[in-house]
Amino acid sequence: MNRNLKEVEKEFISKKNFGIASITINPETDTPQVLKDHAEMLGITSENWNFLTGEKDYIYKIANQGFKIFAGENKQAAGGFEHSGLFALVDKQGRIRCRRDKAGNPIGFYTGLNYTDKEGMREDLEGKYKPGITAIKEDIKKLLEE
């Protein structure tokens, strides 16, 4: 997901009202130093991209009740944790922004995953299609113009 967010960062890094917050779902391991090292490994130099950690219960509460994006422990999952792979777009007033699908239904989140097909049906870490990244970049452009 962070590799895909690098595409977003690259496009909007120079914009005044733009920033990224990545929140760990494994705060017991992901200390501030570990997150700093991770950012360096990814080549992130922007002061507007923050890697955040905190108390596990609070992080899960923010994810699951605040953003309504699943994150939690799962002993069967790789690393013992799982998450939805979704991003939220938050405006400077702190509101989660959404877009509409072709039928006019709200889509509140953007997938940060890669797919092998344009329709976004077959997930693959090396897939070349990133419909969520394309969509969030379009929506960030619109939001920054407001």
pLDDT at 120 over 80: no
Domain of residue 48: give its range: 2-145
pTM, rounded to two decimals: 0.82
The count of domains in the chain is: 1
Q: Which has the higher per-residue pLDDT, 130 or 63?
A: 63
Report the interhelical angle of 32-42 vs 2-12 (nearest 10°).
70
pLDDT single digits (tens) 59-104: 999 999 999 998 888 788 777 778 888 999 999 999 999 888 889 9
pLDDT single digits (tens) 15-58: 988 999 999 999 999 999 999 999 999 999 888 999 999 999 99
Question: The domain spanning residue 65 has which CATH number?
Answer: 3.40.30.10
Phi/psi of residue 105, each to 5°?
Answer: -80, 140
